[in-house]
């Protein structure tokens, strides 16, 4: 982090706290989806509220970091990259929160025979988010490690595509479901896949930022 910022422990801690908050929200999301699939609605709603709380915390941290960055940047030309990186990372957390709210509002009926693959989709998409958090953290602390984490993002994003396609084929290949039910499930599969897609977008940005810092 010292290559980009003046040596201030406070700013380092805030960036770490911001990234920790995104990671914590992804873990809450994972537990929330487990409760949803099990029909444990009260526990699920608790997780919805917790992710919403973490979203607010991350927004506050991001604003504090942005307000400090202008005074702490050693490389002013990198300021825009850092601010965009924080904003795009925050967008992933926003997507986590929005997705859970949509589950809470619309309550899609996920058939028991689809639940294993559904949980697998959640897992691989959240692994992409975890790799994204690690990649962003490495950008500030150990830039040589960023590429490995970007490779992890790309791997899990592709796995998300594979599992999502498998689910959609299972759903639309059935003759005992209404088209409206099929389309409803497809929408929520896309919500989960979108988490991995957004993580990949951050990884793509990081690839460019790393090159810019090393040239």
Could you tell me the pTM of the whole model? 0.92
Average pLDDT of the chain, as a whole number: 92
Between 187 and 82, the higher pLDDT residue:
187
Q: What is the rounded distance in angstroms from the CA atom of residue 206 to the CA atom of residue 202?
A: 6
Instruction: Provide CB contacts within 8 A for 130, sequence distance 6+.
Output: 23, 26
**Residues of the chain above pLDDT 70, percent:** 93
Yes or no: is domain 9-214 CATH 1.20.58.220? yes
Tell me the per-residue pLDDT of 140-174, one tens digit each, with 9 for 90 and over: 888 889 999 999 999 999 999 999 999 999 999 99
Residue 78 predicted with pLDDT over 90: no
pLDDT in tens, 175-215: 999 999 999 999 999 999 999 999 999 999 999 988 887 76
* Per-residue pLDDT at 76: 65
Where do the structural domains in the chain lie, given as residue ranges? Answer: 9-214
């Amino acid at each position: 982090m010292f290559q980009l910022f003046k040596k201030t422990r406070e700013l380092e801690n805030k960036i770490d706290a911001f990234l920790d908050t995104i990671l914590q929200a992804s873990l809450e999301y994972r537990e929330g989806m487990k409760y949803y699939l099990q029909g444990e609605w009260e526990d699920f709603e608790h997780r919805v509220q917790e992710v919403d709380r973490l979203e607010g915390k991350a927004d506050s941290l991001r604003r504090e970091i942005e307000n400090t960055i202008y005074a702490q940047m050693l490389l002013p030309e990198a300021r825009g990259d850092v601010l965009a990186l924080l904003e795009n990372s925050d967008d992933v957390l926003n997507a986590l929160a929005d997705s859970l709210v949509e589950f809470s509002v619309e309550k899609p009926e996920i058939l028991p025979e689809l639940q294993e693959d559904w949980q697998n989709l959640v897992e691989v998409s959240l692994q992409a988010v975890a790799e994204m958090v690690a990649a962003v953290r490495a950008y500030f602390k150990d830039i040589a490690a960023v590429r490995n984490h970007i490779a992890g993002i790309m791997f899990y994003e592709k796995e998300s595509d594979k599992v999502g396609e498998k689910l959609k084929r299972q759903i639309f290949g059935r003759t005992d479901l209404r088209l409206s039910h099929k389309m409803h499930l497809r929408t929520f599969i896309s919500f989960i896949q979108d988490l991995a897609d957004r993580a990949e977008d951050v990884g793509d940005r990081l690839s460019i930022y790393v090159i810019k810092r090393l040239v």
